[in-house]
């Protein structure tokens, strides 16, 4: 194929200096003679998404509440294996023994207020609603926060806004002592685990969390079932684990695969919450908050309940909080279906979403998981009808994500070596179809691929326009593919293994069912809709992107796209460093970045087009981010390009080691990490240069 | 002064083709030799604003509730005359006999709900709050809507969102019949008079209005007295008159001056509301709304009360509404203090704010009226100390503005001839100092003046930066001086008499006291602040702008600035016309606009600098907007450049005759009015050309 390299590399929409190829004459990464066939495949894939199948997968997945480690979880795993098997796919059940929790008791009671001794018991579970058959399911747990400490406490209360680091600092500045108090904080602003962590660090005796109507409820719009927003009884379940790694709490960095000999940490020594933590609805929270008699809150802390919020409850108010949970090792599994690649079976393109759910999970995760199943069906049917995929495709349903990204992490740890050498990319689809407005996050090297794929699919907002066109209009210009945050199964792939990753999904529906008993098919069809058009749209964009990665002569990983992001982040970190009296030259990596840019261009302009060398080179360049020495802080997060942030958990830090050094005000570490980054960039450039020279 | 014309005209910040004068070398409209003296005057004015005087004026003005026509109103008028007199100013009390109203009874009661017969009486007056001495003032009226019909009705209820035209249309589309019902609507979205007008037009039997907590209340922030937002008892008073003219309902176009022989309309024939209209607080509204049992509202209609809002009350719910008011001719006065001009005493620069208030009026109007008094004090002291003003300055406190811009309108009608020939500009300061963030609205010809003045004064947000700098930052670029809306005393000056007008003020405080019993000094000092820095800032900017208008050789009215606004509006109206199947060529006036632009440039570039010709020419050019034939619709609104809009009352229409023709889908009128506009523009150009040729 010598001589075709220009066509191979320069035919994409991403401008390529000197290339004479128009956008519609090629597809990035495909030799010219294969473009037409790929176009046909993409059209057939787009046409083959079936909304009735999505609907049926959605029903199968959301039939009962299935938290990890329960009997229902096992039934779900069997159903997944059977479903994938019926598509003719190889299925791997990857069984793991991991440290989970189950709720036993949750009690909240007001025992004294301004009127004297009282006994006002507060509900910790959503009640029935006429017309919603799922709410009376006996499998529904009470509202609970997994990994809460167990215990009972009677104490006064302090309102801590969102319970973020800055909220607790503000309380201290106001002279409010939370020691020995029950902190009440609203959901939002950070990952709930940090609310518990900060409350405990500040000496609180317990934590109550609730969803404020300003964040979801009547302030936002109609409440369920008239609309989709939080009722007075809406309770957000979820994990409160915050460790320096994700995955099984007892086996950081090592797979907790059943049958494997694994050394486990002592559960007693884990930094899991010791105080009782309990979520409630805003109706119950109103009972407590409206009895508070202390000083009023700063303006920004005012929520949407019909009262002035106060920071301290006053002497009269006493609340009893009792939580009991059973933390222990439980068994669950990832279910991974494999479609072997015809030409490069060792090279993996992975797409996944988790299968465990706090309740029925029609939104979280099954609004995404149904798409993983539909993609598996579509691709396997294409293969059976004679259109093989060139690389292996893996369709994964992860276990125990809700407890802290456990199943996917154990699987990544189990397959670390193979993934490191051969994984091309990971696509995460957790909760993907929650509305018609398309959005995406990705590693820089995958951004162009998503934009290209979005140009081929009709929007769920307006079938006359493409996803890209509507997305552009909603973005007020070129759509931004964002940086990936924390909080789902891409974390081990991206932040631990260094595999370029992406997530896509649709939003924009009026309501939230997140982690509540309302997260069922009745809510989903009322609020997101009954037509499955958002799911169809996401499935189509995902199918095009996956097909290009799986079939390209060389998968289009735009290594050069890192340079801009790194340079921009250096500038912003440099300002942050300066504010703290540290020094970080924003141009310190200019040489290395120029060299990477030039290596990237040289690589693409060279006549090297033997994909046996080129694909491994691109994969190798990506892995440079995880190949340095283990980071000093949070060594599990090996990727020097990106990590979950340290204080909120849902956001992420770009160049996390620099950011960490700045936050710790450590100039030495900052200098060392800057050198380390230079090494990474040089290694990336060298890998590309060497491949080009072969 | 021949030869100095270039300096006179081109030294301002507004770029002037070919001029070599830098911004800091001159002031638009001043001959070079007078610039230094004017700079000194401006500096002295800026330095002479006294916050203790503002505070003291504020206290004098806000000492008691003074609705127009009451005994307290007469005491206020006497106090104003005395205060102006003590400054050594000539004072004119302009007494008028105008058609007002007084509250007698307001009753709202729930008489039946889902539980059967009940009697839940709802409050129509704010109760006392500890620490606020003003709330127990015996002079406070109940909550009422002036000019409501009188009567009693027992009926079911319908919720109509903001009671806008489109809300009633939506109700009709939903199949909700409001005939015979009591409509309940929230404040906001339009002038309250239109809620009453639309409700009556649709056959409602009565109207209840309330302030929803989503618009002001706990949803926004802390409630009074902890913060500034609406308590459950907050009631917005105000007029519900909507006629095709402002001013005295009985004497459109003619001054109702005491002693003058005036023909009056028959009050029975006025289009004032016939149905009872009553405002209440959200606490009372919640009692009604939470008992409604009909279908839920569209998402956007959901307010901030802790419930799902419903459009119809259902069969069980019945509310009794009784309103009695006394409508009759009452006497009040405008108080106008005059500082005679040394060189052009006939030419008037007018600044004003009203003096009547529904309650104590610390915000509305006295946050502005105190500045009118302070400006009068400052300028009269400057004159006494030997710095005369060249044109006459009039400091006006208008009566009965709250009932429908009555006092100022009667005064403008009384002085129509002189104002038409000699008024240079009007500055309105109603409610001007409500916060530190500077904002302004103005006729196009006065925009540059405000921007220039804002560059000389320190911001109340940050004393290290100018008003202009902070305003720019808050606007994300060049600050926008907006188009004037309706709703205050600039309306007769601008929209009836064609006098270029402006309004300026500061906002950004956390709370609203508008027309409620909380609009007193205690609320103002708690929420806006006790330091009077916003008032100081506004007084300074106003002083510079007024001083330039009063002292310039030729006042800097930028006639040419109309061309851009007209062209832009034509484009947008052209689209609107097209949507309705009408035709309006957006370039139809290009020739006339080019000619005006060219006349403007020629006028300024000419050596004509005799202000005896030039000032009248600029005034004459402005008056071209009101000199055509009376508009067919709403003939009182003679200004063909701008009028209050027809459906909300607070906004305005630019090129209102075109807009009206489009809304009426009348191509003939549209063509005629386009010709009329061409005539206006040609007349403006001709006036400037002729003056230049002299």
pLDDT digits (tens, 9 = 90+) for B77-102: 999 999 999 999 999 999 999 999 99
Write the residue in A213, A222, A296 that is nearest to B306 by C-beta.
A213
Contacts 24+ apart (CB under 8 A), B169-175: B170/B298, B171/B202, B171/B311, B172/B202, B174/B295, B174/B311
φ/ψ of residue B58, rounded to 5: -60, -40
Structure tokens at B503: 């309004």
pLDDT at res. B273: 97
Size of interface A-B (CB pairs under 8 A): 62
Give A132 to chain B, closest Cα distance, Å.
18
Contact B297 A219 (CB under 8 A): no
Contacts 24+ apart (CB under 8 A), B162-166: B162/B186, B162/B187, B162/B188, B162/B189, B162/B190, B162/B195, B163/B189, B163/B190, B163/B194, B163/B195, B163/B198, B163/B199, B163/B207, B163/B209, B164/B189, B164/B190, B164/B194, B164/B195, B164/B198, B164/B647, B164/B648, B165/B194, B165/B198, B165/B647
pLDDT digits (tens, 9 = 90+) for A94-118: 999 999 999 999 999 999 999 999 9
pLDDT digits (tens, 9 = 90+) for A524-540: 999 999 999 999 999 99
For residue B434, give the DSSP letter: S
pLDDT at res. A694: 76
pLDDT at res. A607: 62
For a pLDDT cut of 90, what percent of chain A falls above it? 89
Nearest to B251 by CA among B407, B25, B21: B407
DSSP string computed for B123-184: --S----TT-GGGG-TTPPPS-EET-B-EEEEE-EEE-TT--HHHHHHHHHTT---TTSEEE
User: CATH 3.50.30.30 residue ranges in chain B?
Assistant: 101-328
- Can you list the residues of chain B whose pLDDT is less than 70? 1-25, 606-611
pLDDT digits (tens, 9 = 90+) for B334-360: 999 999 999 999 999 999 999 999 999
Between helix B467-475 and helix B447-454 the angle, nearest 10°, is 110
Chain B residues in contact with A226 by the CB 8 A cut-off are 296, 308
Give A534 to chain B, closest Cα distance, Å.
21
Q: Which class does domain A559-693 fall in?
A: mainly alpha
Chain A residues in contact with B213 by the CB 8 A cut-off are 306
Write the residue in A223, A232, A308 that is nearest to B222 by C-beta.
A308
User: What would the 3-class secondary structure string for A423-480 be?
Assistant: EEEEEECCCCECCCEEEEEECHHHHHHHHHHHCCCECCCCCCCEHHHHHHHHHCCCCC
Chain A residues in contact with B304 by the CB 8 A cut-off are 218-219, 304
Write the residue in B226, B296, B305 that is nearest to A222 by C-beta.
B296
Average pLDDT over residues A597-611: 78
pLDDT range class, residue A3, cuts 50, 70, 90: very low
Instruction: Share the mean pLDDT of chain A.
Output: 94
Q: Above 80 in pLDDT, residue A24?
A: no
Structure tokens at B27: 């002031």
pLDDT digits (tens, 9 = 90+) for A295-333: 999 989 999 999 999 999 999 999 999 999 999 999 999
Q: Above 70 in pLDDT, residue A213?
A: yes
Nearest to B167 by CA among B195, B200, B204, B203: B195
Structure tokens at B537: 């800032």
Angstrom distances, CA of residue A388 to CA of A391, A393, B406:
9, 11, 82
Residue of A219, A281, A303, A310 best to disrupt the B interface, most CBs of B under 10 A: A219
What gap in Å lies between CA A430 and CA B510, rounded to an integer? 40
**Hunting for tokens 């009390």 — which residue is that?**
B93
Average pLDDT over residues A27-49: 93
Chain A residues in contact with B226 by the CB 8 A cut-off are 296, 308
Q: Which residue of A has its CA nearest to B299?
A: A221
Nearest to A569 by CA among A674, A425, A690: A674
The answer to whether A473 touches A459, Cβ cutoff 8 Å, is: no
Contact B219 A219 (CB under 8 A): yes
Burial pattern B501-519, b for ≥16 Cβ within 10 A else e, equals bbbbbbeebebbbbbbbbb
pLDDT digits (tens, 9 = 90+) for A148-205: 999 999 999 999 999 999 999 999 999 999 999 999 999 999 999 999 999 999 999 9
Positive or negative torsion for Cα B222, B228, B230, B234? positive
What gap in Å lies between CA B387 and CA B543, rounded to an integer? 14
Contact B302 A218 (CB under 8 A): yes
What gap in Å lies between CA B120 and CA A661, rounded to an integer? 64
Cis peptide bond upstream of B152, omega within 30:
no
Angstrom distances, CA of residue A399 to CA of A79, A259, A378, A426, B130:
13, 17, 23, 17, 58
Chain B residues in contact with A302 by the CB 8 A cut-off are 218, 220-222, 227
For residue A690, give the DSSP letter: H
Contact A302 B213 (CB under 8 A): no
Contact A296 B226 (CB under 8 A): yes
pLDDT at res. B16: 36
**Hunting for tokens 């220009």 — which residue is that?**
A6
Chain B residues in contact with A309 by the CB 8 A cut-off are 222
Give A484 to chain B, closest Cα distance, Å.
29
Chain A residues in contact with B296 by the CB 8 A cut-off are 222, 226-227
Residue B258 region by backbone torsions, left for phi larger than 0, else alpha for psi between -120 and 50, else beta: beta
The answer to whether B106 touches B116, Cβ cutoff 8 Å, is: no
User: CATH 1.20.930.40 residue ranges in chain B?
Assistant: 559-693
pLDDT at res. B647: 79
Structure tokens at B693: 């040729």
The answer to whether A613 touches A687, Cβ cutoff 8 Å, is: no
The pTM of this model reads 0.83
The answer to whether B640 touches B625, Cβ cutoff 8 Å, is: yes
Give B226 to chain A, closest Cα distance, Å.
7
The answer to whether B338 touches B318, Cβ cutoff 8 Å, is: no
Give B274 to chain A, closest Cα distance, Å.
34
pLDDT digits (tens, 9 = 90+) for A439-463: 999 999 999 999 999 999 999 999 9
HSE-CB at A279 with a 13 A cutoff on CA atoms is 32
What gap in Å lies between CA B142 and CA B82, rounded to an integer? 30
Architecture per CATH, domain A101-328, reads as: 3-Layer(bba) Sandwich (3.50)
What gap in Å lies between CA B187 and CA B274, rounded to an integer? 20
Higher pLDDT, B13 or A340: A340
pLDDT at res. B25: 62
Q: Above 50 in pLDDT, residue A403?
A: yes
pLDDT at res. B223: 94
Give the helix/strand (H/E) hosting A39.
helix A32-48
Give B201 to chain A, closest Cα distance, Å.
29
Residue of B299, B301, B305, B511 best to disrupt the A interface, most CBs of A under 10 A: B299
The neighbour count for residue B421, using CB atoms within 10 Å, is: 14
Write the residue in B213, B222, B299 that is nearest to A296 by C-beta.
B222
Which residues touch B463 (CB under 8 Å, ≥6 apart)? none
pLDDT digits (tens, 9 = 90+) for A459-486: 999 999 999 999 999 998 889 999 999 8
Structure tokens at B282: 């959200």
Contact B299 A213 (CB under 8 A): no
Q: Which residues of B touch A (CB under 8 A)?
A: 213-214, 217-223, 226-227, 232, 286, 296-297, 299, 302, 304-309, 510
pLDDT at res. A556: 87
The answer to whether A484 touches A512, Cβ cutoff 8 Å, is: no
Chain B residues in contact with A213 by the CB 8 A cut-off are 306
Residue of A129, A218, A290, A297 best to disrupt the B interface, most CBs of B under 10 A: A218
Q: Which residues pair with A296 in a beta bridge?
A: A310
Structure tokens at A525: 């069809």
Give A550 to chain B, closest Cα distance, Å.
44
Q: Which residues of A touch B (CB under 8 A)?
A: 213-214, 217-219, 221-223, 226-227, 232, 286, 296-297, 299, 302, 304-309, 510
Burial pattern B442-470, b for ≥16 Cβ within 10 A else e, equals bbbbbbbbbbbbbebbbbbbeeeebbbbb
Structure tokens at B137: 């003032």
| A510 burial level (CB within 10 Å; 0-12, 13-18, 19+) | middle
Give A173 to chain B, closest Cα distance, Å.
19
Q: State whether residue A42 is helix, strand or coil.
A: helix
Contact B221 A302 (CB under 8 A): yes
pLDDT at res. B603: 84
Chain A residues in contact with B307 by the CB 8 A cut-off are 218
Q: Above 70 in pLDDT, residue A541?
A: yes
Give B297 to chain A, closest Cα distance, Å.
8
């Amino acid at each position: 194929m010598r001589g075709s390299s220009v066509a191979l590399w320069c035919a994409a929409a991403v401008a390529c200096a000197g290339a004479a190829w128009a956008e519609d004459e090629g597809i990035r990464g495909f030799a010219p003679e294969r473009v037409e066939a790929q176009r046909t495949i993409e059209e057939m894939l787009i046409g083959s998404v079936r909304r009735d199948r999505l609907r049926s997968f959605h029903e199968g997945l959301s039939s009962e509440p299935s938290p990890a480690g329960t009997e229902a979880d096992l039934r779900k795993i069997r159903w997944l294996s059977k479903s994938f098997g019926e598509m003719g796919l190889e299925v791997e059940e990857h069984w793991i023994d991991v440290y989970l929790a189950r709720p036993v008791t949750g009690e909240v009671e007001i025992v004294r207020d301004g009127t004297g001794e009282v006994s006002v018991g507060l509900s910790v579970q959503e009640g029935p609603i006429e017309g919603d058959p799922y709410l009376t399911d006996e499998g529904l747990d009470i509202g609970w926060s997994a990994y809460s400490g167990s215990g009972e406490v009677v104490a006064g209360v302090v309102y801590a806004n969102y319970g973020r680091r800055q909220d607790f600092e503000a309380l201290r500045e106001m002279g409010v002592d939370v020691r020995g108090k029950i902190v009440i904080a609203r959901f939002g602003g950070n990952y709930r685990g940090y609310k518990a962590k900060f409350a405990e660090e500040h000496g609180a005796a317990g934590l109550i969390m609730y969803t404020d109507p300003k964040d979801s409820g009547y302030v936002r719009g109609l409440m369920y079932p008239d609309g989709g927003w939080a009722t007075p009884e809406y309770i957000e379940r979820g994990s409160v684990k915050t460790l320096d790694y994700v995955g099984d709490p007892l086996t950081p960095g090592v797979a907790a695969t059943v049958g494997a000999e694994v050394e486990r940490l002592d559960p007693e020594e884990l930094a899991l919450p010791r105080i009782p933590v309990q979520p409630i609805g805003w109706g119950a929270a109103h009972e407590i908050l409206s009895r508070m008699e202390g000083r009023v809150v700063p303006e920004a802390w005012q929520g949407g309940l019909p009262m002035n919020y106060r920071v301290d409850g006053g002497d009269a108010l006493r609340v009893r909080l009792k939580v009991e949970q059973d933390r222990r090792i439980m068994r669950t599994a990832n279910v991974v279906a494999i479609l072997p690649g015809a030409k490069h079976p060792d090279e993996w393109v992975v797409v996944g979403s988790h299968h465990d759910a706090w309740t029925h999970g029609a939104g979280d995760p099954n609004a995404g998981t149904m798409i993983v199943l539909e993609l598996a069906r579509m691709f396997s049917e294409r293969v059976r009808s004679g259109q093989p995929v060139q690389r292996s495709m893996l369709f994964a349903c992860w276990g125990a994500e809700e407890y802290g990204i456990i199943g996917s992490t154990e699987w990544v740890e189990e397959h670390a070596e193979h993934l490191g050498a051969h994984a091309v990319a990971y696509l995460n689809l957790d909760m993907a179809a929650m509305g018609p407005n398309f959005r995406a996050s990705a590693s820089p090297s995958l951004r162009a691929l998503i934009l290209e794929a979005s140009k081929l699919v009709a929007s769920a907002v307006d079938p006359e326009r493409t996803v890209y066109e509507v997305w552009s209009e909603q973005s007020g210009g070129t759509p931004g593919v964002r940086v990936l945050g924390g909080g789902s199964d891409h974390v081990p792939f991206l932040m631990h293994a260094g595999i370029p990753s992406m997530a896509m999904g649709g939003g924009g529906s009026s309501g939230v069912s997140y982690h509540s008993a309302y997260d069922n098919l009745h809510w989903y069809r009322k609020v997101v809709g009954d037509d499955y058009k958002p799911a169809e749209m996401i499935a189509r964009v995902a199918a095009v992107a996956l097909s290009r990665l799986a079939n390209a002569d060389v998968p289009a990983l735009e290594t050069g796209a890192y340079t801009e992001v790194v340079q921009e982040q250096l500038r912003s970190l440099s300002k942050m460093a300066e504010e703290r009296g540290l020094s970080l030259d924003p141009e310190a990596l200019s040489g290395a970045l120029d060299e990477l840019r030039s290596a990237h261009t040289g690589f693409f302009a060279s006549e090297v087009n033997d994909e046996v060398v080129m694909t491994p080179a691109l994969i190798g360049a990506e892995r440079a981010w995880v190949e340095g020495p283990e980071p000093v802080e949070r060594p599990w997060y090996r990727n020097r390009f990106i990590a979950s942030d340290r204080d909120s958990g849902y956001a992420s830090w770009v160049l996390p080691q620099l950011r960490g050094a700045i936050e710790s005000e450590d100039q030495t570490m900052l200098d060392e990490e800057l050198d380390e980054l230079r090494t990474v960039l040089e290694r990336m450039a060298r890998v590309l240069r060497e491949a080009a020279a072969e």
